[in-house]
């Protein structure tokens, strides 16, 4: 059975304090791994798609990487506006387009 596990559940950072979020997955065949951020009371906002091990993508202070077993979302010198819940989701050869989400990591960045 496909599984997606995110850690930690919650992360509290000082502004400027870089950190990484983890998304580990056990799937039959990965078609794509997606990162989203979700603010309270809103829908998820697309950040990145990663397709193969070794792939990296960057956007402002965020960088996503992918290995055969896990993905990391690195937040460099975070600002308070980076506070959100970060969700990882996988599309697999079993699900074909249906995303399976992890439970999310809630990030709070304090000034």
Q: Which of 38, 9, 12 is nearest to 23 (CA)?
A: 9
DSSP 82: G
Choice from 11, 64, 71, 91 touching other proteins (CB under 8 A): 91
Q: Which of 11, 61, 54, 57 is nearest to 34 (CA)?
A: 57
Q: Residues in contact with other proteins, total (CB under 8 A)?
A: 20
Closer residue to other proteins, CB minimum distance, 69 or 98: 98
Taking the complex as a whole, the smallest distance from the CB of residue 18 to other proteins amounts, in Å, to 25
Choice from 30, 33, 84, 87 touching other proteins (CB under 8 A): 87
What residues between 34 and 63 interact with other proteins by CB under 8 A? 34, 36, 41-46, 49
CA 2 to chain centre: 17
Taking the complex as a whole, the smallest distance from the CB of residue 100 to other proteins amounts, in Å, to 8
CA dist 40 and 38 (Å) reads 7
Distances (CA, A) of 45 to 35, 88, 110: 9, 11, 22
Stretch that binds other proteins, among 17-25, 56-64, 67-75, 99-107 (CB under 8 A): 99-107
Taking the complex as a whole, the smallest distance from the CB of residue 97 to other proteins amounts, in Å, to 6
């Amino acid at each position: 059975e496909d599984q997606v596990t995110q850690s930690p559940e919650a992360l509290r950072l000082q502004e400027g304090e870089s950190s990484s979020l983890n998304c580990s997955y056990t799937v039959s065949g990965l078609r794509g791994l997606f990162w989203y951020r979700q603010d309270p009371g809103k829908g998820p906002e697309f950040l990145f798609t990663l397709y193969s091990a070794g792939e990296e993508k960057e956007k402002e202070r965020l960088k996503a990487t992918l290995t055969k077993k896990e993905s990391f979302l690195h937040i460099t010198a975070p600002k308070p506006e980076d506070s959100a819940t970060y969700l990882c989701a996988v599309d697999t050869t079993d699900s074909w387009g249906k995303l399976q989400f992890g439970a999310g990591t809630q990030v709070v960045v304090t000034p």
